[in-house]
């Protein structure tokens, strides 16, 4: 199982939101690069970075900080937020990012994802599916569509995507535990690699996901609130 410690960027700061609410943010650091270095020192294999401003506004607001995270950590980085064009993807990859996460655009235009996979390869493109009660949310989680998460995942599989970041919005930033059942079911239903996101509160949560066959998990607030020791979690889940 791969653990992805998370850095959510807003105004150049490392923050966490509760249930994706932009009015409920908590700042944990004004030096995202230093946070990335601490993740590398703990033994992380990958870092998950989200440009929250870009997710809402549709363009890369915090790119300079993403670049610093890549350089400072020396680790592979997957990043999302505001990815709307092939040029956006190309620019992110040119900054040294390893994988780009497509969210809203995957819902609005599945053909865009197909083009991205064709242009950059399966290993470079990940689709983020953020859901409330099984329905897909878009535009920084401000809007909830009628589309079911599993249907979008299957559509993305047809576009050549292998990896999905699945976020249960109702659990994100709440430290209430991940939705193990829904995450594992999505993997079984699609045969895709699912990275769980939202609600991690303890190492037991991570072990439950691993036991359920989920190959990856993103940890954010639980690290910053000292609920999960990243080094210990990495050792126990490998």
Please give the positions annotated as active site: 8, 130
Q: Of 200, 232, 216, 233, which Cα lies nearest the Cα of 16?
A: 200
Tokens of 84: 């709307």
Whole-number Å distance between alpha carbons of 209 and 163? 16
Q: Do 33 and 40 contact (CB within 8 A), yes or no? A: no
Q: Do 177 and 22 contact (CB within 8 A), yes or no? A: no
Whole-number Å distance between alpha carbons of 235 and 238? 6
Q: Do 55 and 103 contact (CB within 8 A), yes or no? A: yes
**Residue 113: partners with Cβ closer than 8 Å, 6 or more residues away:** 102, 105, 106, 125, 127, 156, 159, 160, 161
Is 39 in a helix, a strand, or coil? helix
Three-state secondary structure string covering 170-204: HHCCCCCCCCHHHHHHHHHHHCCEEEEECCCCCHH
């Amino acid at each position: 199982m791969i653990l992805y410690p998370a850095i959510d960027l807003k105004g150049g700061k490392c923050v966490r939101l509760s249930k994706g609410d932009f009015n409920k943010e908590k700042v944990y650091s004004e030096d995202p690069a230093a946070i990335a270095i601490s993740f590398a020192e703990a033994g992380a294999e990958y870092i998950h970075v989200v440009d929250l401003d870009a997710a809402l506004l549709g363009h890369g607001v915090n790119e300079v900080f993403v670049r610093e995270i890549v350089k400072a950590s020396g680790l592979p980085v997957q990043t999302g937020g505001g990815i709307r064009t092939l040029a956006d993807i190309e620019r992110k990859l040119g900054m040294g990012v390893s994988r780009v996460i497509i969210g809203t655009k995957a819902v609005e235009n599945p053909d865009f994802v197909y083009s991205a996979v064709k242009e950059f390869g399966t290993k470079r493109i990940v689709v983020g599916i953020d859901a409330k009660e099984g329905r897909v949310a878009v535009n920084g989680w401000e809007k909830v569509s009628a589309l079911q998460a599993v249907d979008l995942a299957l559509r993305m599989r047809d576009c050549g995507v292998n990896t999905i970041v699945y976020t249960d919005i109702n659990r994100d930033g709440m430290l209430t535990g991940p939705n193990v059942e829904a995450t594992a079911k999505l993997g079984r239903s699609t045969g895709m690699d699912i990275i769980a996101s939202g609600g991690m509160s303890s190492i037991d949560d991570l072990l439950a996901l691993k036991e359920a066959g989920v190959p990856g998990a993103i940890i954010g607030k639980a690290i910053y609130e000292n609920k999960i020791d990243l080094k210990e979690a990495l050792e126990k889940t490998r």
